[in-house]
Amino acid sequence: MSLGFFLAACNQNSVAQDAMEQKVEINQEETSMTQSFYDFKVKDINGEDFDMTSLKGKRVLIVNTASKCGYTPQYESLQELYEKHGGDNFVIIGFPCNQFGGQEPGTNEEIKTFCKKNYGVSFPMMDKVDVKGDEVHPLYEWLTEEELNGVDGARVSWNFNKFLIDENGNWVEHYGSSTSPMFEEIIAFASGQ
């Protein structure tokens, strides 16, 4: 083997190794930019911090809610689902939103009173947020963008859209407004089946 051939082969190996190291660095950067469900913090309806890491190990149903909507009676089914399956393994998180027909105009205090008085809501309710558009809450951006959640994109089309997140923080499914909280697949998810 000639010395020239040997040096050329060594040089090619060095270039290949440099390229591989560069690719690993880029992949690590991309991974570090990807957010997890557990990276999000929100405000609850009382203005207190609510950290999604507190939900590790639980299946989660996230729903955008409104008090003056044709779907508002779903609060009753959501509460029933929560009473039957909520606890150590399952939780429902409600996010009031006023983006669809102005159907959630109230303050957090008014929303909280309405939910308790009319539907006995005991599952956690959060601060009013935007679920689409220029001011979309970062959590809803993650829920609706495949590039961020790594599974699927979803359009929040109206009040009472439902998102399922598994006990490991993985995006599972999206259901539109007309899907009842008592839909068999949602019940199966809530019960851990």
Interaxial angle between packed helices 74-85 and 184-191, expressed in degrees from 0 to 180 and rounded to the nearest 10? 30
From the list 45, 94, 101, the residue with the least C-alpha distance to 70 is 101
Q: Is 174 exposed, middle or buried (0-12, 13-18, 19+ CB in 10 A)?
A: buried
CA pair distance 34, 152, nearest whole angstrom: 14
Residue of 10, 69, 97, 115 marked active site: 69
- Helix residue spans in the chain (DSSP H): 3-33, 74-85, 108-119, 138-144, 146-149, 184-191
CA dihedral of residues 149, 87, 123, 119 (deg, nearest 10): 130
Of 72, 66, 75, 82, residue with least CA distance to 130: 66
Active-site residue 97, yes or no?
no
Active site residues: 69
